[in-house]
Amino acid sequence: MKCRILILVFCLAALIGSAAGQTKTAALRPPSTPDIQGIWNFATITPLERPADLAGKEFFTEQEAAQHEKEVLARTNMDRRDGGAQADLERAYNDFWWDRGTKIVKTLRTSLIVDPRNGRIPPLTAGAKERQAERQAANRGHEFDGPENRPLFERCLILQGAGAPTTPTAYNNNTQIVQTPGFVAIHNEMGHEVRIIPLDGRPHLPQTMRQWKGDSRGHWESDTLVVETTNFSVKNSFRGSGPDMTLTERFRRLDADTLEYRFTVDDPETFTQPWTVEIPLTRAPGPLFEYACHEGNYGMRGVLSGARAQEKDAVEAKRPSK
Amino acid sequence: MRHRLAVSISPMVVLAAIFALAAESAIAQPAKAAPGARNWRPSKTPWGDPDLQGTWTSDDCIGTPLNRPANLGEKRYYTEQELAQRESQLAKQQQNDLQELVGPDQRVGTGPPSHWVERARRPCRQTSLVVDPPNGRTPDLLPEAQTRRIPEGANNNNPKADSWEDFSYYIRCISRGVTGSIFPVIYGNGQQIMQAPGYVTILQEMVHEARVIPVDGRPHASPSVRSYMGDPRGHWESNTLVVETTNFLSNRTGIGLNGGGTPTSDALKLIERYTRTSSSELQYEVTIDDPKTFTRPFKVAFPLTQEPGYQNFEYACHEGNYAMSNSLSGARAQEKAAAEAAKKK
Amino acid sequence: MRRKVMSYRLRIWVLASAAFVALFTAMPGNGQTSPKTTSQIPRMPDGKPNFTGLWQTLGTAHWDIQDHSTQPGPFFQLGATGAMPAGQGIVEGGEIPYTPAAAAKQKENLQNRMKLDPEIKCYMPGIPRANYMPFPFQIIQSQRDIAFVYEYATSNRVVNMGTFREAAVDTWMGTSNGHWEGDTLVVDVSGLNGNSWFDRSGNFQTDNTHVVERFTLGDADHISYEASIEDKTIYTRPWKIGTVIYRHKEKNAQLNEFKCVEFAEELIYGHLKKK
């Protein structure tokens, strides 16, 4: 009897001891949190919006998918030489520079937008339409005046695929996720943007503080990382969105090599309903490369000096010939 | 057994006595011996450094020239008679200062009223601030130093006031340099010494300098870090604080009153010695060594005193530098008037 | 026989308890074996906290003590180096409680800050601004008074820890009288001449502004700094700022010299230079 008591006591002590020991040497990521770390690729030839000619067709069949991929790759091959010199020039880079992906999404959906069901961005509100028209009118005829007239990605300010939200684009369709107790960091190759997302429940920045990529706060809902981003700057816009957009992203591990990434745009000032996008993230070997956009922005110099040269030519042309 | 014990105890008693004496001197206690006496020693701070703290002033040697008049030769001190004479002169001056109105026989200039300036409370015993070489005069300048420009600003001998660069660093309210911030002048002579473990700090009234002097033996800053007030390092030699200052910028202030005189070079090295000789008197001595400016090193020394009610006041020189804007705009106005007069001719 | 059994049982329980105790005390977080749970602050021989050292704030309070996003700078020639970074404010509650007239003056100050900000002219920064300038400052704590030696513009002040002394005259750095409240250094700053600002964004003082500061060593390397500000002529109520001051721990850290008058002369007297 006494021996058994003794054994029980020592076993209990051992259990407590080992529990204490475990918290002491626990991995950096708390054991209950899923591991979504790694380098992930999100290149896909599935477009954001369902093309007009596929209206009503939510999913491809396997055969249709294969055919579609062949057609798209043939159509977008930048090494073609048909169409004459002008067409060739406008294809800009050789094919190896592009990294749009070669496949459509595994779900065989014909758009990345999953809601609304028609796979298209919902209509703009009346106010948003007005603002958009105003902006366009203000810029008409001034598209090449200066850097502020050029699109944000040409200025290397905010780039597509650079996070909040992440969407596939011409290249650099890679992201790296790092987890640590209390934080998730998401590093997008495009624009070397890193979003640091606190998970400790702290409030957002005050409304007076706005950022290009907004202000993100995250938490886990069972196996899904939910990230809410607000406080966007009025200077940035995702497909027409305004500064009071609330962007909610969800990251969920499907298997060893796949993350499901979904985001919902909720901006009642701009869109008549919220809309949701789903993009698969596939594990990639990496590494991420430095995208020194601004440092190498010959494009901007070329665009502006070209515009100045054209203006000069136009003036010269108007002069009466000798 | 017992016998051995007795023998072994006596050396211990001696040792104990020695330790007791040593311990006694390490504990903070009031100064020993009569003030002013040669063997007077200052009390110690709780961490064992000699206590030099308080607000000191060089007021008593206001008016004493840097250089001894040549006719006084090697006469370093005034005689007792001469001192008595000076004392009565001081008393007369104090009386004059109390006057509120100018008498009918007094000449009035455009300078400030007399109560703007400070006065010595006792006659200064020295005939000059320079005490070595024995003739009480600064050594000759090296040839390369003789051509250095001394910005003096507009005065009757040299009315040039094209820009602020024509004025001294003092008039520009930048700095008076280390020696210029302690040598006695007409006001602003306050030197507040504060000590903390590992540091002595001297807060100098004009122009609100604060010399932070580490006494922990650390080396000087890199020679690439240079400044107007240099880089000071202190250590204790018995009860004297010795401060070595290097890393001066070149060609800025001179070593004279208010930083005047030939600008010194980046080779300037100052060795100051602060020795408290009573609760209210501190002997200051500085050896000035600039091998690119003077033919030899030389010494300046004078006493500092603590006076009841004396305190540093904020000398917001730059913030209130009407002298600069007035001098420059006055010069421009004169030029304009001259130009207009010339046109009329 | 019984006695023997009892003592055996007793021994087992003693052994078991001992094992429990041994395992419990060996676990982390018990407080007994971890010396770092009580913060160690340096102290003077008389037991008072010792603030002597080289200190500096981090953050952007010197730009704007309220929350702020990035702003472009006034000269494009300075590019990114002239722009204002974003930062969280140090004002408790977020807003400075200006009267309507004072709020208007602040906006005017902000619009004209390149002409009006005393920092640009190298004027002494006053209190509390001196404490969160982007420059270090040295605290020298003697066994009585405490000197603050600020690198910027060779500003400094001595906190009188003896009997309270009224300000004899209004000054840029004010008159500081301090006392201890436990381990907190409380400094009353009066006699400010009202020429100083709180930051580069036009938040200003008057000669009625009265500041009470509180310095507390959270641990050897951090001062928790608070300042209460009152001025009935421009605020609807007293308000507070709070931030952290960090100790410089680099090997050869020391106070350097920033005599900035030379950098402001062209600005102030340039129009009076001979053409």
Average pLDDT of span C170-183: 97
Q: Is B172 on the interface with C (CB under 8 A)?
A: yes
Structure tokens at B137: 């005069």
Please, are residues A44 and A288 in contact by the beta-carbon 8 Å criterion?
no
The residues, ordered by sequence, that sit 6+ positions from C24 with a Cβ below 8 Å of its Cβ are A16, C30
Beta-carbon separation of C268 and B325 below 8 A: yes
Q: Tens digits of per-residue pLDDT, B111-154? A: 777 778 899 999 999 999 999 999 999 999 999 999 999 987 76
pLDDT of residue A1 exceeding 60: no
Instruction: Give the angle subtended at the CA of A240 by the CAs of A90 and A55, to the nearest 5°.
Output: 75
Give all chains having 3 or more CB-to-CB distances under 8 Å with chain A: C
Residue labelled with tokens 């010695």: B273
- Among B7-21, B237-251, C177-191, the minimum mean pLDDT is found in B7-21
Question: Which residues of chain C are within 8 Å of residue B199 when distances are taken between CB atoms?
Answer: 52, 140
- Among A212-216, C63-67, C174-178, C227-231, the minimum mean pLDDT is found in A212-216
Q: Is C80 on the interface with B (CB under 8 A)?
A: no
pLDDT of residue C167 exceeding 80: yes
Average pLDDT of span A202-218: 93
- Among A97-101, A300-304, B306-310, C239-243, the minimum mean pLDDT is found in A97-101
Average pLDDT of span B66-84: 96
- Report which secondary-structure segment, H or E, holds B302: strand B298-305
Share of chain B above pLDDT 90, in %: 77
pLDDT of residue B17 exceeding 70: no
Q: Supply the pLDDT for residue A237.
A: 87
- The candidate with the shortest Cα–Cα distance to A54, out of A43, A40, A68, is A68
Average pLDDT of span B185-207: 97
Q: Supply the pLDDT for residue A3.
A: 60
Question: Which residues of chain B are within 8 Å of residue C173 when distances are taken between CB atoms?
Answer: 314
Give all chains having 3 or more CB-to-CB distances under 8 Å with chain B: C
Question: Which residues of chain C are within 8 Å of residue B312 when distances are taken between CB atoms?
Answer: 158
Whether residue C212 is preceded by a cis peptide bond, meaning omega within 30 degrees of 0, is no
Instruction: Report residue A301's pLDDT band, with 50, 70 and 90 as the boundaries.
Output: very high
Average pLDDT of span B65-76: 96
State the amino acid at position A317 in one-letter form: A
* Secondary structure (3-state) at B322: helix
> Do β-strands C222-230 and A246-255 pair in parallel, antiparallel, or remain unpaired?
unpaired
Instruction: Report residue A76's pLDDT band, with 50, 70 and 90 as the boundaries.
Output: confident
**Packing angle of the helix pair B322-344, C261-269 (nearest 10 deg):** 40
Average pLDDT of span B327-334: 94
**Chain C interface, best mutation among A24, A208, A233, A295, by max C CB count within 10 A:** A208
Task: Judge residue B188's burial from the number of C-beta atoms within 10 Å of its C-beta, 0-12 exposed, 13-18 middle, 19 or more buried.
Answer: buried
pLDDT of residue B283 exceeding 80: yes
Structure tokens at B209: 């300098």
Q: Is C254 on the interface with B (CB under 8 A)?
A: yes
Integer angstrom CA distances of residue B66 from B83, B131, B180, B257 = 19, 9, 11, 7
The alpha-carbon gap from B195 to the nearest alpha carbon of chain C, in Å, equals 5
* Secondary structure (3-state) at C203: coil
Residue of chain C whose Cα is closest to the Cα of B47: C45
Distance, C-alpha C216 to centroid of its chain:
10
Q: Which residue has the higher pLDDT, B184 or A320?
A: B184
Please, are residues A241 and A223 in contact by the beta-carbon 8 Å criterion?
no
Q: Hey, which residues does A260 pair with through a beta bridge? A: A252, A280
Rounded CA gap, C211 and C195, in Å? Answer: 14
Q: Which residue has the higher pLDDT, B7 or C148?
A: C148
The alpha-carbon gap from C174 to the nearest alpha carbon of chain B, in Å, equals 9
Q: Supply the pLDDT for residue A295.
A: 87
Q: Supply the pLDDT for residue A46.
A: 95
Q: What is the average pLDDT score of chain B?
A: 88
Please, are residues A173 and A43 in contact by the beta-carbon 8 Å criterion?
yes
Q: Is C41 on the interface with B (CB under 8 A)?
A: no
pLDDT of residue C24 exceeding 50: yes
Question: Which residues of chain C are within 8 Å of residue A9 when distances are taken between CB atoms?
Answer: 16, 19-20
Average pLDDT of span C142-154: 94
* Secondary structure (3-state) at C200: coil
Beta-carbon separation of B164 and C259 below 8 A: no
Residue labelled with tokens 């807060």: B203
In A194-223, the residues whose Cβ lies within 8 Å of chain C are 205-206, 208-211
Beta-carbon separation of A9 and C94 below 8 A: no
Question: What backbone torsions phi and psi does residue A26 show, to the nearest 5 degrees?
Answer: -60, 150
The alpha-carbon gap from B189 to the nearest alpha carbon of chain C, in Å, equals 17
pLDDT of residue B39 exceeding 60: yes
ipTM over 0.85: no
- The candidate with the shortest Cα–Cα distance to A179, out of A167, A187, A171, is A187
Q: Supply the pLDDT for residue B30.
A: 44
- Count CB atoms within 10 A of the CB of residue B186: 15
The edge-to-edge listing of strands for the beta sheet with C146-150 is C156-159, C146-150, C137-141, C53-57, C239-247, C222-230, C210-219, C184-190, C175-181
- Among A215-229, B157-171, C34-48, the minimum mean pLDDT is found in C34-48
Beta-carbon separation of B196 and C195 below 8 A: no
- Among B20-29, B55-64, B250-259, C220-229, the minimum mean pLDDT is found in B20-29
pLDDT of residue B7 exceeding 50: no
The alpha-carbon gap from C75 to the nearest alpha carbon of chain B, in Å, equals 25
In 3-state terms chain C splits into helix, strand, coil percentages (rounded to 5) of: 25, 30, 50
Rounded CA gap, B256 and B279, in Å? Answer: 28
Rounded CA gap, A160 and A242, in Å? Answer: 16
The alpha-carbon gap from B17 to the nearest alpha carbon of chain C, in Å, equals 26
- Count CB atoms within 10 A of the CB of residue C147: 25
Per-domain residue ranges for chain B?
Answer: 11-66+138-343
Instruction: Report residue A13's pLDDT band, with 50, 70 and 90 as the boundaries.
Output: low
The alpha-carbon gap from B255 to the nearest alpha carbon of chain C, in Å, equals 19
pLDDT of residue C262 exceeding 90: yes
- The candidate with the shortest Cα–Cα distance to B65, out of B130, B152, B150, B145, is B130
Side-chain half-sphere exposure of B128, counting CA atoms within 13 A? 24
CB nearest to C149's CB, from B46, B47, B201:
B201
Average pLDDT of span B323-335: 94
Q: Supply the pLDDT for residue B28.
A: 41
Task: Judge residue B147's burial from the number of C-beta atoms within 10 Å of its C-beta, 0-12 exposed, 13-18 middle, 19 or more buried.
Answer: exposed
Instruction: Report residue B156's pLDDT band, with 50, 70 and 90 as the boundaries.
Output: low
- Among A97-101, A143-147, B105-109, the minimum mean pLDDT is found in B105-109
Task: Judge residue B4's burial from the number of C-beta atoms within 10 Å of its C-beta, 0-12 exposed, 13-18 middle, 19 or more buried.
Answer: exposed
Beta-carbon separation of A210 and C9 below 8 A: no
Share of chain B above pLDDT 70, in %: 88
Average pLDDT of span A112-125: 96
Q: Supply the pLDDT for residue B313.
A: 96
Instruction: Report residue B37's pLDDT band, with 50, 70 and 90 as the boundaries.
Output: low
pTM of the predicted model over 0.90: no
Residue of chain C whose Cα is closest to the Cα of A8: C16
Q: Supply the pLDDT for residue B3.
A: 45
Question: Which residues of chain A are within 8 Å of residue C16 when distances are taken between CB atoms?
Answer: 5-6, 9-10
Q: Supply the pLDDT for residue A15.
A: 56
Q: Is C147 on the interface with B (CB under 8 A)?
A: yes
Question: Which residues of chain C are within 8 Å of residue A17 when distances are taken between CB atoms?
Answer: 23, 26-27
The residues, ordered by sequence, that sit 6+ positions from A184 with a Cβ below 8 Å of its Cβ are A36, A177, A178, A197, A199, A218, A225, A227
Q: Supply the pLDDT for residue B115.
A: 77
The alpha-carbon gap from C162 to the nearest alpha carbon of chain A, in Å, equals 43
Beta-carbon separation of B174 and C259 below 8 A: yes
Q: Supply the pLDDT for residue A191.
A: 80
Q: What is the DSSP letter of A226?
A: E
Average pLDDT of span B236-245: 97
Beta-carbon separation of C156 and B194 below 8 A: no
- Count CB atoms within 10 A of the CB of residue B274: 24
Q: Is B295 on the interface with C (CB under 8 A)?
A: no
- Among A228-232, B5-9, C223-227, the minimum mean pLDDT is found in B5-9
Q: What is the average pLDDT score of chain C?
A: 90
Q: Is C50 on the interface with B (CB under 8 A)?
A: yes
Question: Which residues of chain B are within 8 Å of residue C265 when distances are taken between CB atoms?
Answer: 164, 172
Residue of chain B whose Cα is closest to the Cα of C144: B194
CB nearest to C8's CB, from A2, A20, A206:
A2
> What dihedral angle (degrees, nearest 10) is formed by the CA atoms of B166, B171, B174, B176?
110
B84-108 burial, b if ≥16 CB within 10 A, otherwise e?
A: eebeeebeeeeeeeeeeeeeeeeee
Distance, C-alpha B253 to centroid of its chain:
14
Computed from CA positions of residues A56, A59, A62, A67, in that sequence, does the dihedral angle turn out positive or negative?
A: positive
Average pLDDT of span B304-328: 96
Beta-carbon separation of C156 and B164 below 8 A: no
Structure tokens at B205: 């009234």
Q: Supply the pLDDT for residue A2.
A: 55
**Chain C interface, best mutation among B166, B199, B215, B313, by max C CB count within 10 A:** B199
Average pLDDT of span A215-240: 93
A/C interface, count of CB pairs below 8 Å: 42
Q: Is B84 on the interface with C (CB under 8 A)?
A: no
CB nearest to C158's CB, from B164, B192, B212:
B192
Q: Tens digits of per-residue pLDDT, A119-137? A: 999 999 999 999 999 989 9
Beta-carbon separation of C67 and A209 below 8 A: yes
Total residues found in chain C within this entry: 275
